[in-house]
């Protein structure tokens, strides 16, 4: 994707929201909206058609809602990168969305620069979790993991990477901090996910926060 515009699909049942998001994103250099959908079924169709880099997905939509759409999208194309747009009234859907595979969560009243930054993070495969959203999700994480850890524990370096990952550090930032190549960081992250039976960086970040390996702080 280097050198090319980040393509974005917007899925929200409010036309005013879609129009505003399109205007903002299309005005940002290096980003381009390839379509917008008013319901989950249309979001699935447009995602199949355009295969965007990032899908901005509202959780509450008529017919096929955002969570159902997310499940179908991830089954068809596990590499799909989804940034959930949510409000305080949708807490019960946040944790299921994490388990399904969304990479980022943003409040709808977030400043424009936060939205654009989150799109960039998610496009690169990094998690983007608003601190307020993370606190709400953590309340739902009182149960132990459904799958036990492997008999092979995390190494000291993997534990360090997991702690920094939970604070929102990108692969590039981790590589600079640890004085290693990004390829090495990616290898650490893959090992962490495998050992903890997790699907993505967002799940890993929440695991670290819940287990006390990291604290929720502004980076």
Cα atoms in the Cβ-side hemisphere of radius 13 Å centred on 61: 31
Here the tokens at position 206 are 């929440």
Integer Cα distance of 213 and 206 in angstroms: 10
CATH class, domain 156-211, is mainly alpha
Nearest to 178 by CA among 198, 196, 192, 158: 158
Strands 54-58 and 6-11: parallel
pLDDT per position in the chain (219 positions), as tens? 546 899 999 999 999 999 999 999 999 999 999 999 999 999 999 999 999 999 999 988 888 988 899 989 988 888 889 999 877 545 566 667 777 888 888 888 889 999 999 999 899 887 777 666 666 665 555 445 554 555 568 888 998 898 888 777 778 888 999 999 989 998 999 898 888 878 777 778 777 877 777 665 544
Q: Where are the domains of the chain?
A: 6-138, 156-211
Contact predicate 57/102, CB 8 Å: yes
Predicted structure pTM score: 0.66
Tell me if the domain spanning 6-138 has CATH number 3.40.50.2300: yes
The count of other CB atoms within 10 Å of the CB of residue 20 is: 14
Contact predicate 177/160, CB 8 Å: no
């Amino acid at each position: 994707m280097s050198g090319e515009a980040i393509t974005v699909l917007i899925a929200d049942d409010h036309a005013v929201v879609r129009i505003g998001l399109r205007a903002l994103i299309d005005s940002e250099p290096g980003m381009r909206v390839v379509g917008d959908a008013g319901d989950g079924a249309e979001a699935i169709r447009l995602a199949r058609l355009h295969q965007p880099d990032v899908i901005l997905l509202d959780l509450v939509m008529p017919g096929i809602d955002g969570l159902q759409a997310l499940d179908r999208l991830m089954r068809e194309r596990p590499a799909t990168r989804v940034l959930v747009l949510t409000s305080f009234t949708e807490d019960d859907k946040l944790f299921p969305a994490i388990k399904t595979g969304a990479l980022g969560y943003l409040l709808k009243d977030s400043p424009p620069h936060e939205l654009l930054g989150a799109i960039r993070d998610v496009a690169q495969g990094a998690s983007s979790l608003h601190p307020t959203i993370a606190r709400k999700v953590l309340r739902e994480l009182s149960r132990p993991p459904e799958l036990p850890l492997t008999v092979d524990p995390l190494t000291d370096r993997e534990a360090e990477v997991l702690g920094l990952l939970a604070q929102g550090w990108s692969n590039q930032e981790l590589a600079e901090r640890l004085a290693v190549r990004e390829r090495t960081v990616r290898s650490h992250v893959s090992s962490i996910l495998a050992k903890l039976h997790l699907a993505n960086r967002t799940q890993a970040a929440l695991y670290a926060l819940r287990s006390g390996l990291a604290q929720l702080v502004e980076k």
